[in-house]
């Protein structure tokens, strides 16, 4: 049977883990995104907001309970994000025309919005509200919250930075199949239609690069939140305490 002293990790391990966190905080904003492009301003904003959310939420006695309750949700977010990567790997393994690569990215963007951003936003809003909740499930528990309502709540809460890359009209156009590719310009016309009249309430022409940039901004949100949360919790898992200041 192990004693408490035998179970405790060496202090050097905790020090290393905390050093990794500081390195991540310093280096991530300056790094390139998935497609090798810098976006330091956006990355800095979402990282700062994530750090602020976690540091405030961890002071709540309900923090661990909230994380446990959100475990399944966060696993689902990771699964959805992984599937966007599978679509990308699939498209990259074949010689596709620009049109079909474009169509592939439409699916990736939709999954990123519906499978990643919607659920991750629910989790982030919970972190934001946790310090003032009587109990963690005051947010709604198992009740479904439409993303349109959740989007407005996030912006009202000052969490709009996590929505960089999200366009409601673009999401609707892709989800409902209202887009047309032009072979000559190699661009896509997206249309959000009025469901009663069929008339466009929004139209926009995007290049493949435009759509990729929107996807990458959402991808950065996923990586910042998931990586920081894991790094933040690691020292606590070894030392029995929460990391951070």
pLDDT digits (tens, 9 = 90+) for 96-155: 899 999 999 999 999 999 999 999 998 999 899 888 876 555 444 455 556 777 888 899
> Contact, 188 vs 182, CB < 8 A?
yes
pLDDT of residue 215: 95
Residue with tokens 């409902």: 176
How many CA atoms lie within 13 Å of 196's alpha carbon, on the beta-carbon side? 0
The region, left, alpha or beta by phi > 0 then psi within -120 to 50, assigned to residue 143 is beta
Residue (of 215, 214, 192) closest to 203 by Cα position:
192
Residue 13 near residue 227, CB atoms below 8 Å: no
Over residues 198-202, the mean pLDDT reads 95
How many domains does the chain fold into?
1
Provide the pLDDT for residue 239: 45
Confidence of residue 228 (pLDDT cuts 50, 70, 90): confident
Residue 245 lies in a domain: no
244 in a structural domain: no
pLDDT category at 172 given cuts 50, 70, 90 is very high
Range of the domain at 226: 4-239
Q: How far apart are CA 76 and CA 120, in angstroms?
A: 10
CA angle 132, 75, 144 (to 5 degrees): 55
CA angle 159, 191, 120 (to 5 degrees): 25
User: What is the reported pTM?
Assistant: 0.84
| pLDDT value of position 240 | 45
Q: Which residues of 144-173 are buried (b: 16+ CB within 10 A; e: fewer)?
A: eeebeebbebbeeeebebbbbbbbeebbbb
Q: Is residue 74 part of a domain?
A: yes
At residue 134, the pLDDT reads: 65
Closest CA to 139 of 73, 79, 81: 73
Tokens matching residue 230: 């894991």
**219 falls within a domain:** yes
- Residue 80 pLDDT exceeds 90: yes
pLDDT, tens only, 209-225: 999 999 999 999 999 99
DSSP string, 156-192: HTT-GGGGTT--HHHHHHHHTT-EEEETTTTEEEEEE
């Amino acid at each position: 049977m192990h004693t408490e002293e035998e179970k405790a990790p060496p202090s050097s391990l905790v020090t290393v883990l905390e050093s990794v966190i500081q390195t991540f905080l310093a280096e991530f904003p300056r790094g390139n995104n998935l497609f090798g492009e810098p976006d330091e301003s956006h990355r800095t904003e979402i990282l700062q907001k994530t750090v602020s959310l976690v540091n405030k939420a961890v002071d709540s006695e309900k923090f661990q309970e909230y994380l446990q309750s959100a475990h399944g949700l966060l696993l689902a977010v990771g699964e959805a994000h992984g599937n966007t990567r599978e679509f990308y790997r699939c498209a990259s393994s074949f010689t596709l025309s620009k049109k079909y690569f474009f169509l592939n990215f439409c699916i990736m963007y939709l999954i990123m919005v519906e499978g990643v951003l919607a659920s991750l936003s629910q989790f982030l809003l919970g972190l934001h509200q946790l310090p003032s909740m009587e109990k963690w499930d005051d947010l709604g528990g198992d009740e479904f919250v439409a993303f349109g309502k959740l989007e407005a709540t996030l912006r009202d809460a000052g969490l709009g930075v996590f929505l960089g890359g999200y366009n409601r009209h673009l999401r609707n156009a892709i989800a409902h199949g209202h887009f047309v590719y032009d072979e000559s310009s190699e661009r896509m016309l997206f249309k959000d239609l009025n469901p009663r009249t069929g008339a466009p309430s929004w139209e926009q022409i995007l290049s493949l690069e435009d759509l990729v940039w929107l996807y990458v901004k959402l991808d950065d949100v996923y990586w910042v939140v998931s990586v920081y949360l894991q790094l933040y919790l690691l020292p606590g898992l070894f030392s029995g305490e929460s990391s951070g200041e």
